[in-house]
Amino acid sequence: MISAAGAQLVLLSSLASASDAAAVRLNVPVEWIVFAPLLAALLCGILALRTGDARARYSGAICVAGIGLAFLTSVAIAASVGYGFAHETVFEWIRFDRLRADFAFFLDPLTSIMLLVVTGIGTLVAVYASEYMRGDRGYARFFAFVSLFIVAMTTLVLADNLILMYLGWEGVGLCSYLLIGFYYEKPAAVAAAKKAFIVNRIGDLGFALGICLTYLQFGSVEFAVIFEQVEALRTSGAEIPTAIEAIPFLLMLGAFGKSAQLPLYVWLPDAMEGPTPVSALIHAATMVTAGVYLIARTLPLFLLSEYALPTVAWVGCLTAVFAATIGMAQYDIKRIFAYSTVSQLGYMFMGLGVLSSVGATFHLFTHAFFKAALFLGCGAVMHGFAGQLDLRRLSGLGRVPGWQIVTGSMLVACLALAGFPLTSGFFSKDMILAEAFVTAGPGYRAIGWIGLLTAGLTAYYTFRVFFRVFLGPVHFTAGEEHHGGHGHHFHPHAPGAAINVVLIVLGAGAIFAGWAGVGGGHHGWFGSMVHHSTAAYEAPAGAAHGGFFSNPHQWMMLASSVVGLLGIGVAAYLHLYNRAAAERLRRSILPVAVLAGHKWCVDEGYDLLVRRPLRFIGHVCYSLGDTLIINGLVALGGAVPRLIGAAVRPMQNGRLQGYGLGMAGGLATVIIIVWVML
């Protein structure tokens, strides 16, 4: 069995003795990964300021060029770094006493993987958006925000220290606020943007405190220095200080907020109010995976506490099944896949928690392809059907001329999400679930069973969407722009070349990306990459799987295939062949269906238990502190001179006898005081 306490770290940088990684020299300008999108953001921002400028139509091409150049640079970096590592300082940034945090990049195989995912998916989303957003009056502004988002995300990934990572972390949060609230004249979009920003502040506070505590305990915020001290602490056999054991819990709070885990997941489904390309960008491969990347990057710190990774595993497991139950009861297809994202992120955290760092990062990699395809496919439907996303009002789109590419890409993406055999999601989920059954930990076997159950639920609600929307009799109703316009009055327009090409590429990735983790003792090329990064671990000497699960991945392939096919079969019966049965089933469990449809009333619970008490406290503080005390002090400051003036005013009445009496009284007072003092 593999236990968290017995895991051996494979660290990089100055820990060359613990790893066969080698330092490499880069002949590629790595800074272009950040500066090319930054230049694109500046140019698009200038065009956005020039209202009515016809050149704003070039913003899409500028954004694609900037992010595309970052992607090509990332490919060259990945080829150059290989299984080694590299470090590059762009410029000195913060130097104060012992604190050193340069604008510097740390590159290892984990960095290479994340850069390829972020810039690759980012480029495809930008190409898609160049057609999708055409005609929008905020066209240039949108691409300025997207480019800036990629700048922040690549900074986060490349950072060689916690402070620079936090800069990118906060930049991603700011850009997500701008993108989710892009339609700022729409109240729901503004509310969703504020909700995302505020909820993420909770997690970001934990991350910030974790950085401070790390510096206090290790005297540095640079990963290489921290990991060197972690390795020395682990090999010394000394007792781990409580303050150091608290660090991973603060870091995981930041990860839970950014990656939408319980209880901080509530912002992510509401992020659907942004344009569909934003949904794909945030939900597929960038912002929501930042928390997973944070834990994978700082895994050595998490292994210092025996409770940290089990906490990550259980939070991920519960998030996965909880979000899946909500997704089963939704009707908005974008919102269904939003809850699917929350659930799949739960799988990634589950993988990290059961020490399947390869499985977690591999699922991050495969998820980027099939989830981007799903969201962009939904966007194509929304774009062509005037905003309609209700699966009850759409049927048979696969038979409508011009929609075959969208249907095909949605099919392969749904198969991958459902874990259908030989698709990308099948391979990555298998790694996580298999490791849950064989890793020694508190209730890890139960986590494996819950993960299997969630896989079945995922297959069901995924194909509930596909069978309802793309198969069955042809029927559809237009959405926002054509309320009540039925299919024979409304003619949907098929997507253009840019959208179709992007969907084809993503569909191919949804099928074939999983093969990057097949073969070899370390799960193929992908496993070898992770095993040469800071997210690596090795089992203690002599540890082996035994008993019924002597070959856990082989058994899990069979078990997950059966569960996934069962979920697809139930969805086919209820939503393709006998849709009336689905309605009868819903009526038979109506209270549960209503509660799940209302997201188990979590938002209402937050409103009752958090928002209203805080508003009451704020009202009390305002009434007592601001109105009574502060305003009272200000009023008192003005009242005292008025009272003095009112007391003195009668003395200045112009009567000489009054003045004489005053002088005599004053003289008598002075004489008495002098007499007493003497």
pLDDT digits (tens, 9 = 90+) for 18-36: 344 567 777 788 999 999 9
pLDDT of residue 22: 65
| CB 336, CB 344: distance < 8 Å | no
More confident residue, 659 or 296: 296
Domain assignment present for residue 50? The answer is: no
Residues 337, 438 share a domain: yes
Residues 591, 609 share a domain: no
Lowest-confidence segment of 115-119, 275-279, 379-383, 658-662 by average pLDDT: 658-662
Residues 612, 477 share a domain: no
How much of the chain exceeds pLDDT 90, in percent? 45
β-pair type (99-107, 475-476): unpaired
pLDDT band at 437 (very low <50, low <70, confident <90, very high): confident
Residues 621, 556 share a domain: no
For 644-663, what is the mean pLDDT? 75
β-pair type (8-9, 86-96): unpaired
Residues 451, 338 share a domain: yes
pLDDT of residue 649: 74
Kindly give the residue spans of alpha helices, DSSP state H, lying in 184-289.
187-218, 223-236, 242-258, 267-270, 276-280
For 490-509, what is the mean pLDDT? 85
CA distance 458 to 348: 15
CA 383 to chain centre: 25
Domain assignment present for residue 213? The answer is: no
Residues 377, 526 share a domain: yes
Q: Is the pLDDT of residue 544 over 50?
A: no
Question: What confidence tens digit (pLDDT) does each residue in 209-252 have?
Answer: 999 999 999 999 999 999 999 988 888 878 889 999 999 999 99
DSSP 327-387: HTT--BHHHHHHHHHHHHHHHHHHHHHTT-HHHHHHHHHHHHHHHHHHHHHHHHHHHHTTT
Neighbours of 174 (CB within 10 A): 15
For 591-619, what is the mean pLDDT? 87
Residues 482, 622 share a domain: no
Domain assignment present for residue 360? The answer is: yes
pLDDT of residue 551: 66
pLDDT of residue 51: 67
Neighbours of 639 (CB within 10 A): 11
pLDDT of residue 573: 93
Residues 568, 445 share a domain: yes
Q: Quote the domain boundaries for residue 431.
A: 309-540+550-597
pLDDT of residue 484: 46
Residues 423, 336 share a domain: yes
Q: Is the pLDDT of residue 541 over 80?
A: no
For 535-542, what is the mean pLDDT? 56
Domain assignment present for residue 34? The answer is: no
pLDDT of residue 542: 39
Q: Is pTM beyond 0.85 here?
A: yes
Here the tokens at position 413 are: 């993406």
pLDDT of residue 522: 65
Closest Cα to residue 194, out of 213, 174, 214? Answer: 174
Average pLDDT, the chain: 85
Domain assignment present for residue 127? The answer is: no
Residues 331, 462 share a domain: yes
CA distance 432 to 100: 37
Residues 562, 435 share a domain: yes
Q: Is the pLDDT of residue 184 over 70?
A: yes
Q: Is the pLDDT of residue 12 over 50?
A: no
Domain assignment present for residue 393? The answer is: yes
How much of the chain exceeds pLDDT 70, in percent? 91
| CB 511, CB 423: distance < 8 Å | yes
Q: What 3 state SS string does 648-672 have? A: HHHHCCCCHHHHHHHHHHHHHHHHH
Domain assignment present for residue 492? The answer is: yes
Residues 627, 565 share a domain: no
**How many structural domains compose the chain?**
2
pLDDT of residue 502: 92
Domain assignment present for residue 215? The answer is: no
Question: What confidence tens digit (pLDDT) does each residue in 336-363 have?
Answer: 999 999 999 999 999 999 888 888 999 9
pLDDT of residue 103: 92
pLDDT of residue 486: 45
Question: What confidence tens digit (pLDDT) does each residue in 285-325 have?
Answer: 688 899 999 999 999 999 888 899 999 999 999 999 999 99
